[in-house]
Amino acid sequence: MARYFYTDKGKTLGPVNPDQILNLILNDVLSLDSLVMDTRSPRWIKIRDIPELMRFLYESDIQISDWAEEIALSGENNTSIPLFFHIPTSRLITLSIVSLGWYEIYWLYMNWRYLHYFRKNSTSRAFWLALINPLAIMRIFQNISNDKELSIQKEERDFTFNGIIWILALLILFIFASGIINYLAHIPFLVSIFVSFAALTLSLCCIVPVQNYINTANNQYNKKLSTHTFGHYLTIILGILTWIYVLILWIPALL
């Protein structure tokens, strides 16, 4: 039954039913802290304070992530949470090489997480839906460029092009490092080795300026470094296993 009103861009819309509320949350139109009004009541109430809606959301097949819970799980208070993923640039470079690019996927995930849960205070779709959508990845780079607190720096940057080249470089890296192209196109493994390292270098050239930009603002606000999560260690392990695999492919070619 459609009985909830909500506001979007200053307009009151509705009524909508709980299923429509769920879709609005997944599309970042509403969050759990958005105000809605039941047709049976004249009061505007946060979605998280309406037991009926919260029960429906958590019983649905789609997992809803609560940004407030994300803050609590991070172990940080609002003032100390970094604006975006805050790590030394040297660590980003080192771990990207050690993991053969997998750490860069984790880097993207962490910036997506900070963007949606901490910067927008919103509930969003699962990260993998953004990962398989090049436009969604580019929007992450665009949001970093347009973030008001990051733009306190003298030099404004637009990292959209960085995002485009980064996607292409990482795709080329995984295709050539995996050896798929060698078997399909009969390309020598020496060529694959050269292209893989060139693509890894290019991908780092795309994200290192972004990390420097993020770090400069975080340091100005005296933000702490981001804490390690499970994904940090997972990508390192995955990278080591990937290195073992590619070395098995490359060593015969080098010998």
The secondary structure of 143-155 as a DSSP string is HHHH-TTGGGSSS
CB proximity list for 141: less than 8 A, separation 6 or greater: 159, 160, 162, 163, 166, 210
Residue 132 and residue 139: Cα distance in Å, rounded?
Answer: 13
What predicted TM-score, i.e. pTM, was given to this entire model? 0.74
Confidence (pLDDT) at 124: 55
Pair 179, 249: CB distance under 8 Å:
yes
Confidence (pLDDT) at 203: 97
Pair 96, 242: CB distance under 8 Å:
no
Read off the amino acid at residue 109: Y
Confidence (pLDDT) at 209: 95
Confidence (pLDDT) at 243: 93
Query: What is the token pair recorded at 19?
Result: 């299923």
Tell me how far CA of residue 155 lies from CA of 8, 83, 119, 163, in angstroms: 33, 18, 21, 19
Query: What is the token pair recorded at 34?
Result: 């958005």
Confidence (pLDDT) at 183: 76
* DSSP helix/strand/coil, 151: helix
Residues (pLDDT < 70) of the chain are 1, 28, 60-79, 119-125, 153-155
Confidence (pLDDT) at 219: 92
